[in-house]
Amino acid sequence: MSVPGATRSLTIAAKPAPLSAVTEFVRKGALEASLPEARIGELDLLIDELLMNVSIHAYPDDMPGDVTVTYSVPAPGELSVELADQGVEFNPLKTEPPDLTLSLQDRPIGGLGIHLVKTIATSLSYRREQGWNRLTFGISAGS
């Protein structure tokens, strides 16, 4: 069982996007929060999309850098995760939402990741702080 309010962090190279390592790490938080099975896939997806975001936008081209992933369990059934990087300032929450009404021919093939994150996360916030991008999301047992 986790201590309420305790946090755990993992710092790892952001490129190539370290999906397996971070997913494995954050799933420990899911276990501590007793998230149900249905939420685990969604948690994987949130991590996947946000790590890709850091890899592509915070550290563009060949720019190296780390991402620090921190999770906490603020209450039973709730998991809070922060992804922090010292890359280029980028607020993914300010990106234009995709136009889901366009036909197949007119639809761009990208731009769906952040839309997925905004829809699935229970809470989502971004702040730029002393050179850090800090993106925090919450996911709960009932979300």
Partner 1 sequence: MPSPQNDKSSLSIETTHVSDRVVLVVSGRMDAENAPEFEEKCKACIAAGHTVVVADLSGLTYVSSMGLRSFLSVAKTLQSKGGALRLCSMKGLVKQVFEITGLLQVLSVYESVESAVL
Count other Cβ atoms within 10 Å, centred on residue 11. Answer: 12
| Residue type at position 123 | S
Q: Which is nearer to partner 1, 122 or 132 (CB)?
A: 122
Cβ-in-10-Å burial (0-12, 13-18, 19+) of 103 comes to exposed
Pairing of strands 132-140, 7-13: unpaired
Residue 139 as a binder of partner 1 (CB under 8 A): the answer is no
Residues forming a β-bridge with 70 = 9, 82
x/- letters, 76..115, toward partner 1 (CB under 8 A): ----------------------x-xxxxxx-x-xx-xx-x
The end-to-end CA distance of the chain, in Å, is: 22
x/- letters, 19..58, toward partner 1 (CB under 8 A): xx--xx--x--xx-----x--xxx-xx--xx--x------
The residues binding partner 1 (CB under 8 A) are 17, 19-20, 23-24, 27, 30-31, 37, 40-42, 44-45, 48-49, 52, 98, 100-105, 107, 109-110, 112-113, 115-116, 119-120
